[in-house]
Chain A
Amino acid sequence: MSNRVFAVVAFAFALAFAAASQLVPNEYFFTAAYTVLQFVILATAWNILGGYTGYVNFGSAAFFAIGAYSTVVLYNAFKAPLLVMIVTGTLAAGLAGLGLGYLTLRLRGVFFAIASLALSVVLFTFIVNWDYVGGARGAYVLQPREVPFGLPRYIHLLYIVMVLQAAVSLIVARTIEKSTLGRGLAAIRDDELAAECSGVPTLRLKIFSTMVSCALMGMAGTTFPYYLSFIEPSSAFSLSYAVNSIAMPLIGGMMSWIGPLIGAVLLGSVQQLVQVMFSLGAWNLLIVGALLVLFVTLAPNGIMGWVEGWRRQKGR
């Protein structure tokens, strides 16, 4: 399937999905789906750098928070329309990713990982001390009373935005994967030195994929303040985003765009279930951590790895 066809199909599917779910009478579906879709975007975004290039980003929460807090800034400044907030947050996170990549991607991969962790803490401290966005006290971002497009409630709008954002992320991820760019990234992942020697502009490719990946993470955060109405640094920088956006691609499979999608839908739904069915919130992180360790040690190629293996066997 060519990229353009895929994009059309993905959008059509997203719109159909969003329209069909408007028939669901209970609102719980929308809040639960919002959370799962958040993870779909984060996991897909993380995989653009982590899966395709092999560089581990521990700072997903930081980029997510950049998106969220740029919304807070625009809300406080002039109640900008939602679309402006989404674009700004995406760009801001992309720029931050560009800066981080420029500073550290010349070093070994592990330094990038550590720096991304450090960035979370620096940004967290910065937000805590920045009174304009509420600082440590947190900021209120109120949902408008009037819901556009004749939708019954604001959560429906947020949900539709999330579906579209997820579609955009998947299209971006797949386009990169199938392009020359994607092959360059794969070369870096397999052997960076060899890639460099055979003329792949490794640094530029790495920086580009970092920027795209971070921008999408920021995008996932842009509607979050509206979803919660009240945002404070510790919920925006929650480590749950960092661990989930790593665990989901690893469990789903990192080689293609479909792996993170599967991982996110699976893990995201399991976490929702654990929370409301059994009221066992504390077990959530344990499950994610345990699955992560199990998969990396026993099934390094994730669920998609199994599927591929099974297909190959069947083909023989």
Chain B
Amino acid sequence: MTVKKVLPALGRWLGTFAVALALAGTALAQQPLKIGFGMSLTGPLAGNGKAALIAMEIWKDDVNAKGGILGRKVEFVYYDDQTNPATVPGLYTKLLDVDKVDLVVSGYGTAVIAPAMPLMMQRNLMFMTLFGLNVNSKFNYDRYFQIMPAGPEPAVGWTRGFFEAAMAMNPKPRTIALVGADAEYPHLALEGARVHVKRLGLKVVYDKSYPPNTTDYSPIVRAIQATNPDLVYLASYPPDSAGMVRAVNEVGLKTRMFGGGLVGPQFAALKTALGPLLNGVVNYELYVPELSSKFPFLEEFLKKYQARAAKEGVDPLGYYLPPYAYAMMQVLDQAITATKGLDNAKLAEYMHTHTFDTFVGKVGFAKNGEWSEPRVMMVQYGGIKGNSVDQWKQRGVVTVLDPGPYKTGSVRAPFQDAKN
């Protein structure tokens, strides 16, 4: 036999071996159910990674308290991916081949989800992911699922609320400035915004991006002001969200509506650091206390989360990522229980055809694995006094503008008036 023949034969043999192992696994139902993942516990996204991990561990405790899944206790095997994509292929092959986990889920964010995709596809694994931005548009993998509520067209769904709220103003706005950081998420959000701009016939008077490590943002805000736009849509990451909001206040930006896609004000750190500077800013959120009556189980979960988060020094509010990290695991739990096993094909099929009751509401998945409907909340901040974190735990500093079922008020404009 030549090498060419030996290797595939070897591969087939290994394949059968793996199947045999898997069968042996199901026979021993008492063995723990191992779920593996990489998570950013150090590096730029560590804050979010740690928050997600806390939420997932709360889920694990909850599920083990009720007897596990299919009678098996749940165990996690996870590694720190250092927010470095280069570590991901190694970590996931280790999880699958050496640690022999039963299921894998993703870490936080596009950069660490995409590098795991080829492996998942080669092995036909169902892959539940956490906050990837339209990752599947390139892979078109039918066993990919994603829990961030951006909808089947993520860029468009993400930015819709800002434009819904803007077009509800009287008179209707005509011009818009688009600005964002040179990074993956802001570019995607701006792409979505451009779709709406075109649809609504708005005129773009400024459309530029800036490097995320800019020291002084006021020249950018002045250049925007010079074009006198009715609307200013900003897509940014936390450090530049802070920088832009400060600069907007320093320059005294005159426009009717400002904000839309700032990452950062969802977290306690920026909420408290910026405090009253956020008044009048329109931005997206994934949960606010105004809506606690619509999400009956979240309060209880957030209490557990906030207690743990305080100890570990991560985001003390937990409105953004943790509920969705928990919901991601709930989806898995329900799918495994319903299909009575870990068959990846059956799991994926079930997830495509059913809706799931989770802490963040009913979740159904579209063909590409995204939520079947977008549900990003567009809000306006107002009446913030001082820099305490407690005002954010109560109602009163946030107005939900969109989507309709969650609306608690309309946008206040122009921006400078909304600041008071």
Chain A residues with a Cβ under 8 A of chain B: 19, 22-23, 25-28, 30-32, 34-35, 125, 128-129, 135-138, 140, 142-143, 149-155, 224, 227-232, 235, 238, 240, 272, 275-276, 279-282, 284
Q: With A137-B184, A281-B81, A282-B42 known to touch, is A228 a contact of B10 (CB < 8 Å)?
A: no
- Residues of A within 8 Å of B88, CB to CB, are 228
- Residues of A within 8 Å of B139, CB to CB, are 140, 142
Q: With A136-B187, A138-B111, A276-B91 known to touch, is A229 a contact of B118 (CB < 8 Å)?
A: yes
Q: With A235-B84, A235-B111 known to touch, is A26 a contact of B183 (CB < 8 Å)?
A: no
- Residues of A within 8 Å of B43, CB to CB, are 281-282
The answer to whether B114 and A282 have CB atoms under 8 Å apart is no
Across the two chains, which residue of chain B brings its CB closest to A150? B4
- Residues of B within 8 Å of A280, CB to CB, are 80
The answer to whether A281 and B80 have CB atoms under 8 Å apart is yes
The answer to whether B86 and A235 have CB atoms under 8 Å apart is yes
Cα–Cα, bound, A155→B96 (Å): 15
The answer to whether B93 and A28 have CB atoms under 8 Å apart is yes
The answer to whether A276 and B79 have CB atoms under 8 Å apart is yes
Cα–Cα, bound, A2→B281 (Å): 72
Q: Is B97 an interface residue (CB 8 A)?
A: yes
The answer to whether A279 and B93 have CB atoms under 8 Å apart is no
- Residues of B within 8 Å of A135, CB to CB, are 182, 187
Across the two chains, which residue of chain A brings its CB closest to B185? A137
Cα–Cα, bound, A284→B82 (Å): 10
User: What are the 7 A-B residue pairs with the smallest beta carbon separation, nearest first?
Assistant: A230-B114, A26-B97, A281-B80, A282-B42, A281-B82, A152-B11, A140-B138
Across the two chains, which residue of chain B brings its CB closest to A125? B211
Q: Which of B235-278 contact A (CB under 8 A)?
A: none
**CB within 8 Å: A-B pair count:** 136
Cα–Cα, bound, A128→B186 (Å): 13
- Residues of B within 8 Å of A232, CB to CB, are 85, 111, 184
A-B contacts besides A31-B93, A136-B181, A235-B86, 12 pairs, CB < 8 Å: A25-B14, A129-B182, A136-B184, A136-B187, A136-B209, A138-B111, A140-B138, A142-B138, A229-B115, A235-B84, A275-B79, A275-B80
Q: Is B122 an interface residue (CB 8 A)?
A: yes
The answer to whether B117 and A272 have CB atoms under 8 Å apart is no
**Residue of B17, B42, B85, B110 with most chain A CB atoms under a 10 A cut-off:** B85
Q: With A128-B211, A153-B122, A282-B42 known to touch, is A140 a contact of B90 (CB < 8 Å)?
A: no
User: Helix, strand, loop or mixed for chain B's interface?
Assistant: helix
Q: With A230-B114, A238-B84, A279-B79 known to touch, is A28 a contact of B97 (CB < 8 Å)?
A: yes
Q: How far is the CB of A299 from chain B (nearest CB, A)?
A: 28
Chain B 1-27, CB-CB to A under 8 Å as 1, else 0, gives: 001110110110010010000000000
- Residues of A within 8 Å of B11, CB to CB, are 152
Q: Is B98 an interface residue (CB 8 A)?
A: yes
The answer to whether B114 and A228 have CB atoms under 8 Å apart is yes
Q: How far is the CB of B81 from chain A (nearest CB, A)?
A: 7
Q: How far is the CB of B214 from chain A (nearest CB, A)?
A: 12
**Residue of A34, A153, A229 with most chain B CB atoms under a 10 A cut-off:** A229
The answer to whether A28 and B8 have CB atoms under 8 Å apart is no
The answer to whether A235 and B85 have CB atoms under 8 Å apart is yes
Cα–Cα, bound, A27→B81 (Å): 18
- Residues of A within 8 Å of B87, CB to CB, are 275, 281
Q: How far is the CB of B391 from chain A (nearest CB, A)?
A: 34
Cα–Cα, bound, A19→B10 (Å): 13
A27 in complex: contacting residue of B4, B79, B85, B97, CB < 8 Å: B97
Q: How far is the CB of A15 from chain B (nearest CB, A)?
A: 11
- Residues of A within 8 Å of B128, CB to CB, are none
- Residues of B within 8 Å of A238, CB to CB, are 84, 86
Q: With A128-B211, A154-B118 known to touch, is A28 a contact of B138 (CB < 8 Å)?
A: no
B90 in complex: contacting residue of A19, A31, A149, CB < 8 Å: A31
Q: How far is the CB of B389 from chain A (nearest CB, A)?
A: 27
Cα–Cα, bound, A284→B81 (Å): 11
The answer to whether A228 and B86 have CB atoms under 8 Å apart is yes
The answer to whether B8 and A152 have CB atoms under 8 Å apart is yes
Q: Which of B151-201 contact A (CB under 8 A)?
A: 181-184, 186-188
Can you list 21 pairs linking A and B with CB atoms under 8 Å apart?
Answer: A26-B93, A31-B94, A34-B89, A129-B182, A136-B186, A136-B209, A137-B187, A137-B188, A138-B114, A140-B138, A142-B138, A151-B7, A152-B7, A152-B14, A155-B89, A229-B117, A230-B117, A276-B91, A279-B41, A281-B81, A282-B80
Q: Is B78 an interface residue (CB 8 A)?
A: yes
B118 in complex: contacting residue of A137, A143, A284, CB < 8 Å: A143
A150 in complex: contacting residue of B7, B90, B111, B181, CB < 8 Å: B7
Q: How far is the CB of B133 from chain A (nearest CB, A)?
A: 9
The answer to whether B78 and A279 have CB atoms under 8 Å apart is yes
Q: With A28-B98, A152-B10 known to touch, is A227 a contact of B211 (CB < 8 Å)?
A: no
Q: How far is the CB of A285 from chain B (nearest CB, A)?
A: 9
Across the two chains, which residue of chain A brings its CB closest to B40? A281
A136 in complex: contacting residue of B4, B94, B117, B182, CB < 8 Å: B182
Cα–Cα, bound, A275→B188 (Å): 32
Cα–Cα, bound, A137→B118 (Å): 19
Cα–Cα, bound, A153→B120 (Å): 13
The answer to whether A22 and B188 have CB atoms under 8 Å apart is no
Cα–Cα, bound, A28→B97 (Å): 7
Cα–Cα, bound, A19→B7 (Å): 10
Q: With A150-B8, A235-B85 known to touch, is A28 a contact of B183 (CB < 8 Å)?
A: no
Cα–Cα, bound, A135→B17 (Å): 43
- Residues of B within 8 Å of A229, CB to CB, are 114-115, 117-118
Cα–Cα, bound, A167→B157 (Å): 50
Q: How far is the CB of B132 from chain A (nearest CB, A)?
A: 10
Cα–Cα, bound, A142→B14 (Å): 25
Across the two chains, which residue of chain A brings its CB closest to B183? A136
Cα–Cα, bound, A138→B114 (Å): 11
Cα–Cα, bound, A231→B94 (Å): 21
The answer to whether A230 and B81 have CB atoms under 8 Å apart is no
Q: How far is the CB of B254 from chain A (nearest CB, A)?
A: 29
